[in-house]
Amino acid sequence: MFLTWSLSWGTIVALLAGTVCVVLSYLLILSRQNPIARLVLRELLTIVGLGVMLPVAWIKMNGLSLSQFGLSSQNWFYAIIANVVLASLLAVMFYMEAKGKSQKFDFSGKYGTVFYLMVGVLFETLFFYSFLRQLFELSFGIIPALLLTSAFYSLHHIGLEEQMSGASRKKELINLFFVGLMYSVTFRVFNSALAIFPFFIGVGVVSDLIVEKQAHRLSWKIGVLSLSLMVLSAILLIYL
């Protein structure tokens, strides 16, 4: 259904989770001088807590299947083809824009940053496009779900200062809303995370932050920690 109205506990969980995600992001601004607090807010509470523990716990407690959230092998072939094609088109577009601005594609010493960013977009894929979007769709229908997901995705970046640099905050958030809508629609068409992760969404964030904004280096060690905790917490919750 494109539009519906079926409120449930899932509706409350989705709205609260999205709001908490935005609040945690905003708290990153207040704790910019405290690396321990930022690690807890970003890696533990946001990426691991909201990105893995909450979705897995909700799916398990309610007897749902991963396929309902686009986390299965269904449509895998067409999803991956779309992923690669769209990523290639996006890469060409970014390349032409960067060439016109005489920007350099220098990734030397930034592979750790790329790895960290890919862990971040894995979180975004799981939390926004898989979990929130599906719960919103069950409550409000396809179109409101796409819009709500994109809004929360955009607002989530409010405290990610490397994402907000180089442009007015309002303009950047508006741009991110349409970026989120692009990924949300693609995910929904194929009902598969493989339609956007890792290539389509990866090209977007790497091109934006490393090429366009020249973001400061991010730690691959923290990326490894986040990814390890994501995998470990998922395994524990699934088999407990």
Answer whether residue 146 is part of any domain. yes
Number of domains in the chain: 1
pLDDT at 223: 95
Four-point Cα dihedral 95, 104, 154, 25, nearest 10: 150
Answer whether residue 3 is part of any domain. no
**232 vs 37: CA distance, rounded Å:** 22
> 162 pLDDT exceeds 70?
no
> 212 pLDDT exceeds 70?
yes
**138 vs 29: CA distance, rounded Å:** 33
Answer whether residue 206 is part of any domain. yes
pLDDT at 167: 59
Mean pLDDT of all residues in 155-169: 76
Residue 141 DSSP one-character state: -
Split at pLDDT 50, 70, 90, the class of 49 is: very high
pTM over 0.75: yes
Question: Residue 144 in contact with residue 132, Cβ under 8 Å?
Answer: no
**Which residues form the domain of 66?**
9-239
Answer whether residue 95 is part of any domain. yes
Answer whether residue 62 is part of any domain. yes
> Model confidence over 185-197: pLDDT tens digits?
999 999 999 999 9
**237 vs 13: CA distance, rounded Å:** 18
Specify the higher pLDDT residue, 98 or 29: 29
Split at pLDDT 50, 70, 90, the class of 209 is: confident
Q: What is the rounded average pLDDT for all residues in the chain? A: 92
Split at pLDDT 50, 70, 90, the class of 50 is: very high
> Model confidence over 115-157: pLDDT tens digits?
999 999 999 999 999 999 999 999 999 999 999 999 999 999 9
**239 vs 237: CA distance, rounded Å:** 6
> 166 pLDDT exceeds 60?
no
Answer whether residue 1 is part of any domain. no
Answer whether residue 78 is part of any domain. yes
